[in-house]
Amino acid sequence: MIEGLRLENFRVFEQAEFSFGPVTVIVGNNGVGKTSILEAISMLSLTTSWKTEKDSEVVRWEAPFTRVTSGDRELVVQVHPYMKRMKIDGISKRATEVIGSFPTILFEPDDLSLLYAAPSQRRQYIDRTISQTSQAYTRAVLQMQQVLKQRNRLLKNIQEGMAGESELPFWDQQLAELQEVIQEERAAFLTFLQEKVPAVFDGMVPGGLDSQIHYLKSPHAAEQEFRHHLEKNRYKEIAAGVSLYGPHREDFSVTWAGHPVEQGMSRGQSRALMVAFKMAELDYIAERSEKRPVLLLDDIFSELDLERRHRLFSVLSGYQVIMTTTELGAVQEMIAGEVSVISLA
């Protein structure tokens, strides 16, 4: 549970402090910083922002740094020179030591695009969820990013005649070993989703049990077979100058009644399916980490009808919920018990 938050030079906030209860509603017009509060909490959890690729963009305009603190956790991002530091109990921590210690789940309107977005967004969704339950997975993904950086540079140099193919087997081996760890965790997560999502979806949409989640693996999962695949297709990667195969190219798809969801599924049905995904994600993190994640709900009422709002809130009992809205009355009608309110002008 998060009890309070202090912001310095974060987005629109020069100095601000907030307190949270078991259920907190942040209310205000668009553009006053409601989502930024959720973003700051998420950064304390995952060390990065879901809203931007450059963490320095969260720093208030023309400020040299931002600081986000909550209890014993502190995140500082400096603009020039760029620096990001995370501390717990005053001790600097690596991302692998931070992620998972304070799990959060975000539900925002853009989640509805997950089913139709680029594969990279679905990989980010997978990585964000699994990393909060497995340090080994987090390490493997971070190491994979470094291996790919080196391997892609080498492929480009080979393409330009500045290096030889004999240097590639070392990086092939590194990528193959990391793929084994990553694919094992991804397969377990997607299997968990397949076990949970259809039943929840069926409770909201008739025929939801006919939904299927498919793991689109990189070619040849076994380490030796994967390395052979890389050797066999070496010329393609050299011609492209980038790594074409591996965990960084994976994806998952969803079908309903045997058809891709992007073919014929209405927006209302898509909303229901994403609610089912979020409920399954909640169960996954709670079961795997043995911690109850904090729920961050960003203006989702604009995307959910009354029935699905009730469905979502029915499973949130016992979890801390921090949500944003432009209409306080509609939210209070949905929640039993005391609600903490933060009003932003």
Please report, for residues 164, 232, 243, 250, the alpha-carbon distance to residue 235 in angstroms, rounded to integers and kept in the order given.
12, 8, 11, 21
Query: Domains of the chain, with CATH numbers?
Result: 4-114+184-219+249-343 (3.40.50.300)
- pLDDT of 11 reads 97
CA distance 97 to 226: 30
Q: Confirm if 307 and 205 have CB atoms less than 8 A apart.
A: no
In DSSP terms, 212 is beta-bridged to 255
Does the pLDDT value for residue 315 go beyond 80?
no
The answer to whether 137 and 297 are in contact (CB under 8 A) is no
* 161 CB burial (10 A radius; 0-12, 13-18, 19+): exposed
Mean pLDDT of the chain: 92
Q: What is the pLDDT of residues 139-198, one digit of tens each?
A: 999 999 999 999 999 999 999 999 999 999 999 999 999 999 999 999 999 999 999 999
pLDDT in tens, 59-93: 999 999 999 999 999 999 999 999 999 999 999 99
C-beta separation of 250 from 243 below 8 A: no
Neighbours of 163 (CB within 10 A): 15
pLDDT at residue number 220? 61
Amino acid letter, residue 41:
I
* Whole-structure pTM value: 0.90
pLDDT for 222 equals: 66
* 3-state secondary structure (DSSP) of residue 337: coil
Higher pLDDT, 275 or 304: 275
The confidence score (pLDDT) of residue 65 equals 98
Task: State the first-to-last Cα distance of the chain, in angstroms, to the nearest integer.
Answer: 26
- Positive or negative torsion for Cα 131, 136, 142, 148: negative
- Report how far residue 165's alpha carbon sits from residue 95's, in angstroms, rounded to the nearest whole number: 34
Instruction: Determine the residue type at 82.
Output: Y
Number of H helices, E strands in the chain: 10, 14
Residue 223: per-residue pLDDT: 66
Amino acid of residue 318: G
What is the pLDDT, as a whole number, of residue 111?
Answer: 82
